[in-house]
Structure 1
Amino acid sequence: MALGGSWTAGVAAALLLATSAAAQPARLPPPTGQLAPVQQFTLANGLHVVFHIDRSDPVTAVVLAPRVGSSRETPGRTGFAHLFEHLFFLESENLGKGGLDKLSARVGGSGADGSTDRDITDYLQTVPNDALEKMIWAEADKLGFFINTVTDPVLAKEKQVVKNEKRELYDNQPYGFAQHVVAAQLYPRDHPYSWPLIGSMADLEAATLGDVKAFYRRWYGPGNVTLVIAGDFDPVQARGWVEKYFAEIPKGTAAPRLQPRKATLSANRNVYYPDAFAELPQLTLAWPTVPRHHRDSWALTLLFDLLTQGKDAPLSKVLVEEQRLTAELKAQVSDGVLAGEHDLVITAFKDVDLDRVRAGVNQGFARFERDGVAAEHLARAKIRREVEFYRNFESVLGKARNLARYDVYAGTPDFADRDLAMLRAVTAADLQRVYRAYIKGRPHVAASFVPRDQPQLAVQGATLARVVEERIVQGAEKPVDPDAGQAVYKRTASSFDRTVEPPYGPPPQVKTPPIWEARLPNGLRLMGMQDRELPLATFELSIDGGRLFDDPKKPGAANLLAQMLTKGTVRRTRAEFEQALQGLGADVTVSAGEERFLISGRTLARNFAPTMDLLREMILEPRWDETELRLAKAATVASIQSRRAEAPALAERVMSHVTYGPDHPLGLNPLGAEASVQALTLAELKALHARAIAPNLARFRVVGAVDRNATVAALRDLGRRWKAGGAKVPKPPAPDPPSASRVVFYDLPDAKQSMLQFGYPALRRDDPDYYPAWVANYVLGGGGFASRLIQQVREDKGYTYGVRSTFRGGAYDGAFQVTSPVRANVTLEAATLIRDIVRDYGRTFTPQDLEVTKAFISKSNARAFETPAAKLKILANVGDYGLPRDYLRAEARVVSGMTVEKVQAIAAKQLRTDAMTFVVVGDARTQAARMTGLGYGAPVMIKDEVADR
């Protein structure tokens, strides 16, 4: 995680910000040293190699990044870059089928991952540093020894997986097609940014094996690839490995660098789409702007931040505070090598005409033109963006990925310092200049997405957008069998035997950071891990109770209380509170979970003490403002309404309803019901605050560049003023597991996928059987692509994009669950397959499965302390669940002692498919009756019971 060179010491001295919460943010001088120093070289075949050394943890990240994305495609052949990303993981000549995923599991890696963008595809992996040579060998095998293994059956199966991904991310989501519609209007039809990155169903179906092989030959030569290795390794040794495994791969066809081609609109484009899944109207306004890393990029991003973020931002002031048309505005940027755009996305309240929203945006712009931007507001916005910038470098994988993307988008991997300097250099005059150049009076796209039965809410004069929607047709897709017709090929020649997997290096030397503890006079327990690799401190205040304090007759109070804690203090209005945090480079969020309230945040370590002063104000002196309560209620009701067509949220709600029942606080919508939220009063929230926000229920933890003494000093006043008491968490009865299996079906008309969530109450986190069960689940569904569920449901059948199983253990109760969104017309088939895999798991568990499980869990401990989030998780397990400080050692002994027989015994006891609730959220017209075939009787239809609870 260290950023290299003298940066850490330099920036700690350089970040001389305000020393009190009320002070104005100071100008930030540049840090000394480089953010992420690199070594780079290019092989004779054109492979560009970038090294970054980071000795903080015994791990390395490997990123292979071909400079190809959807921008290299042509009309009629869209989606190839993304489809190819999927195929690239499956097999290679010397790794074999699924070889990369199996290797990653054996060495304790993070799991092979990848992504496709408009201009880049990257393949990502983090492993303990003793496995670096193995990963270099594997990545080279993928790049140079892969294409012969692809067959027509493999291609047919992966098309189904990609289609499932498209359904999950776009087709089955409210507003899922919004960005597709905007891009089609913003760019001419022959512009590579005009089509969806994932491609069209028709183009995917039309792709042939010949097309795939031609795409590989054109774009996947080493001369078009950057390889980045970051972490704790010997660069001389690693260079030798790179040359050994990559150098003899032929260079391939040179790929010319893309030249900018901005979007040009001669007039406004105004379109609408009646969305079957939208409950609220949404307006997206999109302006063509500049490519990534253009000299105006940061000024435009900061402009949109200042227009939308915070209570006093001009657009928020008009649309949220004054006209009350929406709960929030989102600003987003989409940019690449060719062009860029900046968008405003506004989800309005129910029945709001989007013409009113558009008029409000214009009024906000007029206010910005009149008032401009105060210097302190710009300074705060820059600090916030700078802290986010540092967060991209918290892990070696984050650094490796950013270095690869800089190489593609900026033309050099060592661009981070210039990027940060460009952010720091933005002035108020720059904001006015880019506003006039790109936004004020400029042609733009207005896209209205409205509920299907309310087209009148669209912006006046809008024309219907063209969207191709998939129809649910039973049996429309042919069954796939990727193992049919095994590839027959002559093995690609090599100067050495590539079938021999390289050996491990020396075992990683894991440095376990010490945990310090302290206790304040009011009993508040403090815990922390010191980490000076970044100038940041990340903290959490965990308070037992959360939604367990909710009254089932009037739910939603816990969530509303969490919101109100961020709406200002007795001493500060909400705007002043937000500005104080921003001036310190800090952010704080509050959430109400099933078992606890969590106040979490991050700040520049130099400003930890004044940030804790604000935390104390927030906890002890909430503002309790009636106007803020009305706004919070409106936002909550909008969230309740918008989630009525979100399949994953609906599946969670149905499972909670049938598990806990309507008289249990956890059996209801975590946001509450519309009526109960509207009825809650400030007096009730104050009373809940007095009962629930108490130090005897709380624990504070921090990770970062602050030590024990600094933490105790910063929280001393909180320990003095937050009075100890005898607060108690309500303990409703734990749910009983079902005595028999049944299917519960929630109708989501015209759903392109069915959301499956199967499970039952299970082990708490402190149960001695919990961790052994968690270990046993790794090969079943906890191990990503190493898991049986993924391999059979996705890789063999093509039914889904993702499926997982988990034992979720809390302090109050626990659960075993399997979740997966599946293609709608194989709902029964997928449910049956998942049920059978879980049922037969113990009987089919093998010694090889045990070997993979032990290898992954034991070796992955090298990554246990790499990021602030990982360290906080360890502190949470000790503090919130009462585990011993050395629990990782105890768990290592559990893993070491696991046997096939023990896993089989766990499966027999804990995996109960004959007493499981099978929740399905999908299209009842086509799928409900079919679910009788699962063998548990006709499904129980359950919509009215959870519609507004």
Structure 2
Amino acid sequence: MLKIKLSFFALLLNIIFGFSQSQSKSLSIDFETFELENGLKVIFHQDHSDPVVAVALTAHVGSAREKEGRTGFAHLFEHLLFLESENLGKGGLDKLSARIGGSGANGSTSRDRTNYFQTVPKDALEKMIWAEADKLGFFINTVTEPVLAKEKQVVKNEKRQAVDNRPYGHTMFVIDRNLYPQNHPYNWQVIGSLEDLQNATLKDVKEFYKKWYVPNNVILTIAGDFDKEQAREWVHKYFDEIERGPKVTELKKQPVTLTETQKLYHEDNFAKLPELTLTWPSVYSYHKDSYPLDILTKYLSEGKNAPLYKLLVEEKKLTGEVEMFNYTSELAGQLMLQVRAYEGIKLDSVKLAIDRSFKEFEKNGIPEKDLKRIKAGLETDFYNSISSVLGKGFQLAQYEIYTKDPNQINKQVEQLLAVTTQDVKRVYNDYIKERHYIATSFVPKTKAELALSNSKKAEVIEEAIVEGAEEKFDASGKSAYKKTPSSFDRSIEPPYHGKPELSLPEIWDANMPSGMKVMGITNKEVPLVRFSLDIKGGQLLEKTSKAGVANLLAGLLEKGTAKKTPAQLEEAIELLGANINVRAQDEKISISGNTLAKNYKETMDLVKEMILEPRWDEKEFELLKQQTLSELQQQSGDPNRIAQNEFRKLIYGSNNILAYNILGTTESVKNLSLEDLKVYYNENLSPMLSTYLIVGEINKEEAVNSIKAISANWPPKSVDFPKIPKVELPKKSRVYFYDVPGAKQSVLAFGAPALTATSDDFYPAEVMNYRLGGGGFASRLTQELREGKGYTYGIRSRFTDRSYIGPFMISSGVRTNITFEAAKLIRDITANYPTSFTAEDLEVTKSYMLKSNARKFETLQAKLNMLQEISDYGYKYDYIKKREEQVEELSLLDIQDLAEKYVNPDRMYYLIVGDAKTQLKKLEDLGYGKPILLNEDN
């Protein structure tokens, strides 16, 4: 057994701020590690602050452990391991998660590892250990040909959604195939190819599992509120008899070098703007040079002081943003610089500007103050990363996987903080200056002339839309298999242990003379403060002719103050290790932030300047307009954003400001002036409409004092809110289609106006929706469209919480060639839902809604969200308790009545964004008349 106390941020404080050791002793993470005889490594971390525990199983296998021609297996297993195990049965983990109030069992796959994780109330820990052991030792026999066939379709839909049906989705495929040699394990994508997935056999799958999913290649992490000795006993009970697998051979580091620069281009079906990506070979994770490389990329690209930003964004006006990062993995790494240029910009001009920026850096290097500024954000980032028990568990497991030493986290921070300006200059010379690279130009269709000169056409494999191309399967039947023997009856689910009590955070409040309200929660788990100054209004106070003015105002408030230039304001925020963001929403403008508790007062001084002393910088205003117009242009090619924007129009109608994109329209943004922003600011921003919300290591007196200067110097004014036009259910359902030629998926948005967040029915309606589409894998829509048919990667339904009437909405992306079948199945599920909802459904729903409250307030952000709900909708401080009573009182008849009232498939808008040529005609058979094509010009 190894026990280590990590106090590495004591070191950070000493180096950056000169704090004494006595001030830093509390900044630590305790953990213990031990290993079972079968090789399973276990990491325990106790945190008693909330009655929850996170359990994660991490396997040291990702796409790098696959072989060419059989790619995507690691990610396929991420999916398969949730479906069934011998003792939990079909859908067992998802059903268990719903009953115990878990966060929803989930997983992720990278090049080098796959993990499975969930946070649950602490009384369910033994159940989770039992379930994870079943996944590792009692699973593979349940995988049958129909199960494999169905899950292939789900994964292929995920690839279509994440890659094939989105702008620039093939970028990494092109880069990795050319950066890494054909035999390199990073040559292919984590998700694999559609062809490889289709060719995977049951034998292939079982061989892969038996090689990699063995105790001696897995880490079990348990973090949260639990008894270590009891947990250790359970781990031994459920995992000890799982047999060790064959010896796992470690892969050697495989960094790459390029012998020539390659320039490639692709005409992207969905892209509306040209994008240039430059990629240089880099270093593997935790290499000594990875730390100065991280700082180099931040300095070159992020913020007003960044050389690339100053030249490409401000001076040359070629783009609205520059992104640069060091992407490291276990075996190798790549340094990436990405610029999405404005419409019609030739990427040669972008490359010239990049080269000029690099020359400036070669001459000047990184100033000491910028090095300090970048390091100052590290402490805040660290505390944010450990604000949940799951985050702590992930962090510990990652170091064990990649370095075999969780205590490497201590050494990593030392190395990062030890970086000098000379180190940053050295890694630039070693990895960028005069080095070969891969340059990819992704340009809109028919716009090849925008690509970098002398680029060759990239090989991109695109799926053809073919009717009936997918294999048939029936995964609904019960699998017949021989059970793996065990020394005890594993089919008996372990009991709960105790009952976590819901402990509501104590809320304090105050009223300022200006009319501003203050609400807060003191929480001292981490030395951070999160806050949000919410000003009611937002888009609701816009005129349709001035659509987008609130969004532009929010952006401009971040660009300097009367006393500070934009660069000076940004630097002042970053030197505090803080973040301050201004955001316009439908019903409010929020100035929110996150800072170290010790720097809170200085942070609020900056907030005061931003809200009360805007700079009204004409240059920044024009830049923001250009960036907004560019973003609108990008959205016009993204099927998911098209669906969101068109659905709003259907719900609210053309005369309602709520039908507009929060960014505005191309026409309205072009016509907005700086004077329009000043008018909106002077007429609509008032302390009388404002609530200051704060959580973290701060008390009421400190919080109130910090806001006094803002309240005292902000003239109160009354604001008249326009009457929101009435929205009503459509008298009958109609199908609306937006044509995106060649779309690999159809994006569905079905729904209708429903109710307000203040309605007595709102929360009961959310409870009703849990089994329909709000409960993830516990929902009917997911079980039937994804698990039953393999039509989609994901589908959900939800009620939108607003003070005005928000919609009920079902959303999904389905494979193109079953668009009609998916729409019909959704229609039938919603039609049958009131009568098919059973007493068992009600029991599962109640169990989830009540037990999941144990996780309700774990992080600072969760606590802030609760305050915002109270502020936005006038909920009582103990509204969670009231909701528990509502759940207890709901009957089967109540659920059925709510479903009939708010989920009526015959009075909905059926919006589909996809390929009209192949799918439009068939939708007439849905029974709602001839579909209405929304963009006839296509």
1:781-800 alignment to 2 at 5 Å?
781-800=773-792
Q: Please tell me whether the aligned partners of residues 59 and 115 of structure 2 are also in contact (alpha carbons under 8 angstroms).
A: yes
> How big is the shift at 1:415?
2.7
The superposition leaves residues 500-545 of structure 1 with CA deviations (integer Å, 9 ceiling, x where unpaired) of: 1001001114432210111222111111111111111111111111
> How big is the shift at 1:609?
1.0
1:814 is aligned to 806
2:134 is aligned to 141
The 2-side partners of 1:73 and 1:725 are apart by 65
The 2-side partners of 1:910 and 1:732 are apart by 21
The 1-side partners of 2:98 and 2:860 are apart by 23
2:664 is aligned to 672
- TM norm structure 2: 0.98
2:107 counterpart (114, 123, 126) = 114
- Taking only the aligned residue pairs, the percentage that are identical comes to 48
1:780 counterpart (758, 772, 775) = 772
The 2-side partners of 1:665 and 1:15 are apart by 49
The superposition leaves residues 410-461 of structure 1 with CA deviations (integer Å, 9 ceiling, x where unpaired) of: 2222332222222222111110111111111111111110011100111111
The 1-side partners of 2:817 and 2:553 are apart by 42
Does residue 512 (structure 1) correspond to residue 507 (structure 2)? The answer is no
The 2-side partners of 1:154 and 1:6 are apart by 44
Structure 1 window deviating more from structure 2 (33-42 vs 154-163): it is 33-42
Q: Secondary structure at the match of 2:800?
A: strand
The 2-side partners of 1:360 and 1:385 are apart by 30
1:41 is aligned to 34
1:903 is aligned to 895
- Residue type matched to 2:700 in 1? R
2:838 is aligned to 846
> How big is the shift at 1:707?
1.3
Does residue 198 (structure 1) correspond to residue 191 (structure 2)? The answer is yes
1:727 is aligned to 719
The superposition leaves residues 615-668 of structure 1 with CA deviations (integer Å, 9 ceiling, x where unpaired) of: 111111111111001100110010000111111111111111122222211112
The superposition leaves residues 76-118 of structure 1 with CA deviations (integer Å, 9 ceiling, x where unpaired) of: 0110100111111100000000000100110000000000000
- Residue type matched to 1:396 in 2? V
1:241 counterpart (222, 234, 245) = 234
The 2-side partners of 1:599 and 1:922 are apart by 37
- TM norm structure 1: 0.96
Q: Please tell me whether the aligned partners of residues 258 and 337 of structure 1 are also in contact (alpha carbons under 8 angstroms).
A: no
1:356-435 alignment to 2 at 5 Å?
356-435=349-428
The superposition leaves residues 266-298 of structure 1 with CA deviations (integer Å, 9 ceiling, x where unpaired) of: 111111111010000000011111100111112
Q: Please tell me whether the aligned partners of residues 68 and 219 of structure 1 are also in contact (alpha carbons under 8 angstroms).
A: yes
1:624-773 alignment to 2 at 5 Å?
624-773=616-765
- Residue type matched to 2:215 in 1? P
Structure 1 unaligned segments of length 5 or more: list them: 18-24
Does residue 214 (structure 1) correspond to residue 207 (structure 2)? The answer is yes
Q: How many residues align?
A: 934
- Residue type matched to 2:322 in 1? L
1:98 is aligned to 91
2:919 counterpart (924, 927, 936) = 927
- Residue type matched to 1:89 in 2? F
1:351 is aligned to 344
The superposition leaves residues 875-923 of structure 1 with CA deviations (integer Å, 9 ceiling, x where unpaired) of: 0111111000010111000001111111111111111111100010001
1:448 is aligned to 441
Q: Secondary structure at the match of 1:38?
A: strand
Q: Please tell me whether the aligned partners of residues 780 and 841 of structure 1 are also in contact (alpha carbons under 8 angstroms).
A: yes
Q: Please tell me whether the aligned partners of residues 297 and 326 of structure 2 are also in contact (alpha carbons under 8 angstroms).
A: no
1:174 is aligned to 167
2:853 is aligned to 861
Q: Aligned-residue CA RMSD in angstroms?
A: 1.7
> How big is the shift at 1:36?
2.6
- Residue type matched to 1:601 in 2? G
Does residue 82 (structure 1) correspond to residue 75 (structure 2)? The answer is yes
> How big is the shift at 1:725?
1.4
> How big is the shift at 1:373?
1.4
Q: Please tell me whether the aligned partners of residues 5 and 31 of structure 2 are also in contact (alpha carbons under 8 angstroms).
A: no
1:553 is aligned to 545
1:532 is aligned to 524
Structure 1 window deviating more from structure 2 (539-548 vs 789-798): it is 539-548
> How big is the shift at 1:596?
1.3
1:20 is aligned to none
1:60 counterpart (49, 53, 66) = 53
- Residue type matched to 1:795 in 2? E
> How big is the shift at 1:781?
0.5
1:871 is aligned to 863
- Residue type matched to 2:722 in 1? P
1:501 counterpart (493, 505, 529) = 493
Q: Please tell me whether the aligned partners of residues 37 and 414 of structure 1 are also in contact (alpha carbons under 8 angstroms).
A: no
Structure 2 unaligned segments of length 5 or more: list them: none
The 2-side partners of 1:4 and 1:526 are apart by 41
1:187 is aligned to 180
Q: Please tell me whether the aligned partners of residues 6 and 30 of structure 2 are also in contact (alpha carbons under 8 angstroms).
A: no
The 2-side partners of 1:225 and 1:387 are apart by 31
The 2-side partners of 1:750 and 1:294 are apart by 43
The 1-side partners of 2:720 and 2:14 are apart by 43
1:191–1:35 Cα change, 3 Å? farther
Q: Secondary structure at the match of 1:757?
A: strand
> How big is the shift at 1:6?
9.1
Structure 1 window deviating more from structure 2 (473-482 vs 437-446): it is 473-482
1:327 counterpart (320, 325, 329) = 320
The 2-side partners of 1:735 and 1:314 are apart by 50
> How big is the shift at 1:34?
6.4
Q: Secondary structure at the match of 1:745?
A: strand
Q: Secondary structure at the match of 1:802?
A: strand
Q: Secondary structure at the match of 2:520?
A: strand
1:285 counterpart (278, 282, 300) = 278
Q: Secondary structure at the match of 1:801?
A: strand
Q: Secondary structure at the match of 2:862?
A: helix
- Residue type matched to 1:504 in 2? Y
- Residue type matched to 1:743 in 2? V
Q: Please tell me whether the aligned partners of residues 595 and 812 of structure 1 are also in contact (alpha carbons under 8 angstroms).
A: no
The 2-side partners of 1:552 and 1:546 are apart by 13
Does residue 490 (structure 1) correspond to residue 482 (structure 2)? The answer is yes
1:876-895 alignment to 2 at 5 Å?
876-895=868-887
The 1-side partners of 2:859 and 2:422 are apart by 38
Q: Secondary structure at the match of 2:252?
A: coil
> How big is the shift at 1:768?
0.4
The 2-side partners of 1:668 and 1:876 are apart by 24
Structure 1 window deviating more from structure 2 (250-259 vs 572-581): it is 250-259
Q: Secondary structure at the match of 2:85?
A: coil
Does residue 308 (structure 1) correspond to residue 301 (structure 2)? The answer is yes
> How big is the shift at 1:729?
2.7
The 2-side partners of 1:391 and 1:331 are apart by 22
1:164 is aligned to 157
The 2-side partners of 1:487 and 1:472 are apart by 32
The 2-side partners of 1:16 and 1:662 are apart by 59
- Residue type matched to 1:525 in 2? K
> How big is the shift at 1:688?
0.3
> How big is the shift at 1:687?
0.3
Q: Please tell me whether the aligned partners of residues 877 and 883 of structure 1 are also in contact (alpha carbons under 8 angstroms).
A: yes
> How big is the shift at 1:235?
0.6
Q: Please tell me whether the aligned partners of residues 352 and 457 of structure 1 are also in contact (alpha carbons under 8 angstroms).
A: yes
Does residue 914 (structure 1) correspond to residue 906 (structure 2)? The answer is yes
Q: Secondary structure at the match of 1:487?
A: coil
